[in-house]
A and B are shown apart, each in its own frame.
Chain A
Amino acid sequence: MKQLLITISFSLQFWSVCSLAQTDDGVIHLSLNASHNILKNEFYNYWNATPGAGFNFSIEHHIGEIGTGLKLMRFNKVIDSAKSFYGVDYYFLYRHYFDIVNRVAFISGFDVGVFEFRFDDDGYIRTSAERVEREFALKITGGISYLLTNSWKAELTASYQHIYTRKKINLYFLNIGVTKTIDMPDWMKGFFE
């Protein structure tokens, strides 16, 4: 299932980059979304995830939508020896939209970045280095978007995240969000060129 999802996602993205179908419209997308973990695995023997929230900033480019994002989630320990932590996900993002029918599009994309584990201080943390762990993370995303108005759209996506810790962590999310599209100010157009 996981391999199939990865294969489909990267095939779509490879095709989209090669086709270079999207155009540079000089717009900015600001997105707010909520995430919830699904498909529990061994990780959940140690931690339970609470719903999280994220924010994306992206621009239109000829190759697709590119930008950055941040997501915050809380993970509460299940066993005493573990530590609860906030998971902060910083990433670069790429998205491509494939129109299906009027107002509805299929979304395919991936994120590359760093997942940060910010541990609760339960009195045993001595140094700042023990408070924070970071690791490289990849995420693929697919879903549906619905154009609400000319500048607003709603999105429902699922994503799979792989965090490259020594004992690998796989997380599966269901995401729902809204995206506001605004015209890029002239001064900013010069910057993104």
Chain B
Amino acid sequence: MRKYLVVFFLIIKAISVSDFVVAQNIVVIKGVDMEMISLIRLSDIYSIMPQLDLYTIERYRHTPLKGNLYKNAYQGINILINGIRTNFGLLDKTNLSQFPLNPAVIDSIIISYKPILYHGEFSSGILIDIITKLPEEGISFNAAYSTGNEAGDPGPYLYTEHYSENVDQFGPNTFISSSYGNENFNLTFSFADQVSPTTDPAVIQRVNNFFFQNYQVRYSGFSVHSAVSSKLGDHNIFTSFTKTGQTVVGFEYGADLYFVDELSTEFPFENNNFIFSSGNRIAFYQESEILLDANLNFNSIRKSEFNSTSIGEWEDLWLYSKTGLKSKLGIINYFIGSSFAYQNINNIKTKQKHRRNLTSVFASLDLAASKNPSASIDANFRIGEYSPGMFIKLTGYYKFSEKNKIGLSVSFDNPFDVNSFSEYVLRNEFIAQGISYEQITELSKRASNTSIALSYTHLLGENNSFLAVIDLTNYSNFSYGLNDFVFIPDYRNIINSGAKYFNEVDGLMIELSFNYYHTISKKIFQKVIYRYNAAASGNSIFAEAMKRIPRHKLFYSLYYSPFTDITASLTLNYQTSTEWIEYRNIESGSNSRYLYKLFDLMLVNCSVTKKFWSDRIRISALIHNLLNNRIQYHPVGGTFDITFLIKAEADLQSIIKF
């Protein structure tokens, strides 16, 4: 431990760094980022966020590496829209690609990847807040169409002895949106339709039980977002309906996939999802305002119509409300309130219901009187069905010159919070093993994170900034199930040959990051991020489990806009190899498709966009994995070769004015 601190302070003296909110570990993806990388689907933002540790099986659905790793510490993805909770997701998986918004209507995306209290919402995993654009005056219209092809098809050798299977075609992806805006009211309609392949040999090789009709996932959905503002306050409503399997448009069927970490396989299913979210800010008294949020989320999950296995069918209902008061008391700006969540997971086949209530109180205090130093306190206390938890975070900044700022935050949290399906599965799993209800409760209570983060930012002129962060997190009493996955080639199946449980997994994680942002000229911007992550101490099982997190990550991006009608981007993602102890016996008989130790990854993507008709039409050509390296994020996941994509977009702003 001491040696790491010494190393850190040596580095911190040698390197100067930027002016970002860092101690809170928040990243903002701006509209220009999405435009420069020619975003095809929302989850493409992950490719420019090395701060996030995710895996993907089929380049379609992304899951946090720590998501369900610890049985009593679910750390998933929570999606908000304009600060309002949506509970979007399917059981405990959240597929950002399926959030039914046209990327063109998004202004920015705020992502937190450490425990946080954000607008009164606690997140122990990844929190994504999608901030929508304020529509232009009058009626506007946008449509985007993209499609792509992964290299590796047989081509003309299909009919020769060099025969091979067809591989993935991505898309088409279609987004359409229309909006109306005036001074006090705006309304935006979005429609999304996507086709994603499920033909990767690594998936096909181990799913003997399932037949993926057309070997593709079909998804479509629409959303309506409206906002009204007046002197009395603001009111936002977001509603959406999404569908997988038999989609709204087209006749072809394509089951969605749900990868179950505990079984190391995916299940085909179809789903209907409905969301209603409303956020209301009411001016109350002088500088005070009341915030009222409400959310309803309903998933109806059915097994694929071509699936003959006995997997369950579910209905998942969320009801949620939040009330808060934002005001000022002397030198303190505060936001206090409470929220209530109700969830009912209904197993249609067994009629078994899992109902739970989650009540939470929260407070955020900002000592605003003194801008230097500044300080804030965030606290949240939750009472679940049997797993109370808390979060408290103290943050302070001190600016010791115009260009230098230091930040320090200390936090404590019980990460078992917005768990849904995982809690249900966990309880059944433990009960099946004879672990008593009291023991489960005790396990859930005890898991905790204590974290201390120190940041140093430095501005080097107007166009250069550096940022360094060190984050030490102590994991205490985490519960871990060590599975032993084995591939059975004859049955094209993966089985868990034995699980061993560890209920007192402790350790200290150290994370270092260095960020450099450089605006070379008005035409060129570059960014470099390095991240180091390792278990500094702890028991051996903790060290083994955390080896799935890449130790070193290096990210580079270059945005180039030589003329107003042409933009280009180049991004490079490098990460060192990872080990997945649960898959230590997976390689046998798998034709090298399944790996216990994943290779180093070097992913290079590039894109070029030509704009026409004064930026009303944009045509983009993208190459993902330009070096055609083997890219594999999960031991039994697909491998991604060089992929060529094209995108065409029409963007007509204020075509009708009233």
Option from B153, B161, B562 in Cβ contact (under 8 Å) with A63: B562
The answer on a CB contact under 8 Å between A135 and B151 is yes
- The interface bits of chain B over 138-182 (1 if a CB of A lies within 8 angstroms of the residue's CB, else 0) are 000000000001111111111111101011000000000000000
The answer on a CB contact under 8 Å between B160 and A81 is yes
Which stretch (B418-426, B510-518, B610-618) binds chain A?
A: B610-618
Say how far B211's CB is from chain A's closest CB, in angstroms. 17
Which stretch (A146-154, A161-169, A177-185) binds chain B?
A: A161-169
* Given A46-B160, A191-B612, A193-B565, A166-B154 contact (CB < 8 Å): yes
The answer on a CB contact under 8 Å between A166 and B562 is no
The answer on a CB contact under 8 Å between B612 and A135 is no
Contacts of A192 in B (CB 8 A): 565, 612-613
Option from B156, B613, B644 in Cβ contact (under 8 Å) with A83: B156
Interface residues of B, count at CB 8 A? 33
Contacts of A62 in B (CB 8 A): 562-563
Contacts of B621 in A (CB 8 A): 92, 112
Option from B155, B164, B167 in Cβ contact (under 8 Å) with A169: B155
The answer on a CB contact under 8 Å between B156 and A136 is no
Task: Please name 11 pairs of A and B residues whose Cβ atoms are closer than 8 Å in the assembled complex, sorted by A.
Answer: A63-B562, A63-B566, A83-B158, A133-B166, A135-B151, A136-B151, A164-B628, A166-B164, A169-B156, A191-B613, A192-B613
* Given A63-B563, A167-B162, A191-B613, A133-B154 contact (CB < 8 Å): yes
B623 proximal to A (CB < 8 A): yes
Option from A114, A117, A190, A191 in Cβ contact (under 8 Å) with B156: A117
Which residues of B come within 8 Å of A, CB atoms?
A: 149-162, 164, 166-167, 562-563, 565-566, 610, 612-614, 617, 621, 623, 628, 641-644
Option from B151, B167, B566, B623 in Cβ contact (under 8 Å) with A112: B623
The answer on a CB contact under 8 Å between B149 and A114 is yes
The answer on a CB contact under 8 Å between B566 and A133 is no
The answer on a CB contact under 8 Å between B613 and A114 is no
A172 proximal to B (CB < 8 A): no
A38 proximal to B (CB < 8 A): no
The answer on a CB contact under 8 Å between B613 and A117 is no
Option from A46, A61, A136 in Cβ contact (under 8 Å) with B644: A136
Interface centre among B149, B158, B610, B643 (most CB of A within 10 A): B158
Say how far A140's CB is from chain B's closest CB, in angstroms. 15
User: Other than the known A63-B562, A81-B160, A115-B155, what 14 A-B pairs have Cβ atoms closer than 8 Å?
Assistant: A47-B156, A85-B156, A112-B623, A114-B149, A134-B153, A164-B151, A165-B152, A166-B152, A166-B154, A167-B164, A169-B156, A191-B612, A191-B613, A193-B565
The answer on a CB contact under 8 Å between B159 and A82 is yes
Interface centre among B153, B614, B623 (most CB of A within 10 A): B153
Give A85 to B157 CA distance when docked, in angstroms: 11
Say how far B4's CB is from chain A's closest CB, in angstroms. 42
Report the contact-size class of chain A (Cβ under 8 Å from the partner). Answer: 35 or more
The answer on a CB contact under 8 Å between B155 and A165 is yes
A160 proximal to B (CB < 8 A): no
* Given A191-B612, A192-B612, A135-B149 contact (CB < 8 Å): yes
A residues 47-73 in Cβ contact with B at 8 Å: 47, 61-63, 66
Contacts of A167 in B (CB 8 A): 154-155, 157, 162, 164
Closest B residue by C-beta to A125: B159
Give A82 to B163 CA distance when docked, in angstroms: 11
Give A83 to B157 CA distance when docked, in angstroms: 9
Closest B residue by C-beta to A134: B149
Closest A residue by C-beta to B568: A17
A75 proximal to B (CB < 8 A): yes
Contacts of B164 in A (CB 8 A): 166-167
The answer on a CB contact under 8 Å between A46 and B156 is yes
A residues 63-104 in Cβ contact with B at 8 Å: 63, 66, 75, 79, 81-83, 85, 92
